[in-house]
Each structure stands twice: as C-alpha cells, then as structure tokens.
Structure 1
C-alpha cells in the first residue's frame, strides 16, 4: 500500500482547480486547503473535497503518504477556500479508531473520492467496509473553525 502514487493527471488537475478557485469560481464541492509547508515555510494549497458528518467537517487523504497531509499535520491550522469564501480552520488528525466511522461514511458523501480510490488501487468496489479497513493507513482530518 505504501507504494501507491497519485495518478499523473492529479497535479495538472489540481492546478486548474486552484486557478478557478483563485478567481472566485467554485468547482463543485471542492475546496482548497492552504497551510504553511513543513519544510519550506511557504504557503501550500491543495484542492480537496471535505464533507460534513455528524455536524463536523472532515477530509480524507487520497492515498497514503500524501504530502499535503504531512503539511496539514505539521501546520495544525490553515485556510479552507471555496470560490471567494475563506475560513480559518484548526486541523485535527483522527486516530485510526476515530477515523473508522468517518471512512465508512466517505463513499456516500464523496462519490468522486470513491472513483479516485478505485483508480489508485486503494479499494476494489468502494464499499464502506473497504474504506473503514483503510483506518490507520489514510490520514483523516477534522476541520474546526478558528474563532
């Protein structure tokens, strides 16, 4: 599982999504998370598809070892942007046990993420059981508003 890599189209697609968001055009449910890079200290922005579960906002890394997840983990705070709206958030990584119910909900809430996971080889069918089994392998974060 640790040898999984993002698909080749991901970086160009992320650039397009970030560009559209930057000029104020929302791109479906996608948002852009901006955090301080853990090595460079420069701002790093990554599109993602957060979803609401039991009143909280969560996101799931698309593959194990994602750089953006390491940056988010190190930063602890960031900005979520959709179109022209931005919100500062605290970034809390869930442990494997707390991630299980969130991962079970993921296929119902983020169908585009299921397709990504299938193409990446993370799951075969995209069932809640398959996603729950990824607890401890995929980073799962909760975003809490900074007040």
Structure 2
C-alpha cells in the first residue's frame, strides 16, 4: 500500500475565520498579499468549490502551490483539469497541468521567498535558501500546478 500523501489540515480558526476573511476581501477586489479565490469543480459532487489561494507569477508562468499538501482542491484540480481564478467579481478560466517533482525546486523557492511568512510552517524547515536537493525532497509533499488562462 502506498504511503498516505502529506496533508496539513487547517484548524478551526483557519477554516472559519481566516479563510473566510481572505475570501471576503478577495471577492471585493481587495487582495491580501496577492490572494485570490480559486474555484474548481468537485470531483465527486460536480459542485463548484472555492478556497483562497496565493497564485505565484514566476518566469512568465502562473502557478498554484499547495502549501498544505495533497488537500481537497488539489484532488479536484487533477480531476477537473482547471477552474476559475477570482479577484473581485472578475473570474478568469484556466487549464491546469501538474508540475513534475523534479521541476519544482525553483518554483518552491520563489513561492517561499514571497510567502514563507504565511506558509513556512507547512514546509517543515525548508525555505527559500534551501538547496535544490532539500526542495526536491519537499516537492513530493506539495503539489504544484501551472495555470494557462483561456480567456
């Protein structure tokens, strides 16, 4: 049996206060440190699911990094192959391709350079100054998707 994928579940405060606050601001066009709201169809229900995320622009691409690991939105993204990114009321449709682990170190480094203050605890000691080897070892725990906007 394969090992259980890494998941760092959010606590009550994050789910019920922090995420809702960030999403509320984002829906009104106020981004907190670059946050947006990701909408992706549920893989089982087919219903749209929304969660605040920090999209990363890096070397001409846009990426979503799952700081908390293999969480629900990552499973839904794999099944749906894309979704919508919202900043305010404006949504942008996109397709998503998962980035292979061996290509993640520079993306993770850029992500941690920008948001370590917010997500560093989920990376278990890995930071923007970590070696490629350390980042590659952490890559398996953190799915990364490259977004391609379609409209």
> What TM-score range do you get, normalising by the shorter chain?
0.7 to 0.9
Aligned to 1:134, the other structure's residue is in SS state: helix
Residue deviations 1:2-56, cap 9 Å, x none? 3633343221211122222223433330011101111111000111111111100
Corresponding residue number in structure 2 for 1:55: 60
Identify if the C-alpha distance between structure 1 residues 62 and 131 changes in structure 2 by more than 3 Å, giving closer, same or farther.
same
Identify if the C-alpha distance between structure 1 residues 125 and 145 changes in structure 2 by more than 3 Å, giving closer, same or farther.
closer
Q: TM-score, normalised by structure 2?
A: 0.81
Does the 8 Å CA contact 2:7/2:71 hold for their aligned counterparts?
A: no
Corresponding residue number in structure 2 for 1:116: 119
Q: Give the distance between the partners of 1:133 and 1:104, measured in 2 at CA.
A: 13
Aligned to 1:116, the other structure's residue is in SS state: helix
Corresponding residue number in structure 1 for 2:87: 82
Does the 8 Å CA contact 1:123/1:131 hold for their aligned counterparts?
A: no
| Superposed CA RMSD | 2.1
Identify if the C-alpha distance between structure 1 residues 67 and 24 changes in structure 2 by more than 3 Å, giving closer, same or farther.
same
Q: Give the distance between the partners of 1:5 and 1:53, measured in 2 at CA.
A: 27
Note if 1:133 corresponds to 2:137: yes
Aligned to 2:119, the other structure's residue is in SS state: helix
Q: TM-score, normalised by structure 1?
A: 0.83
Which consecutive residues of structure 2, in runs of 5 or more, have no partner in the other structure? none
Which consecutive residues of structure 1, in runs of 5 or more, have no partner in the other structure? none
Q: Which 4+ residue blocks in structure 1 deviate beyond 4 angstroms?
A: none
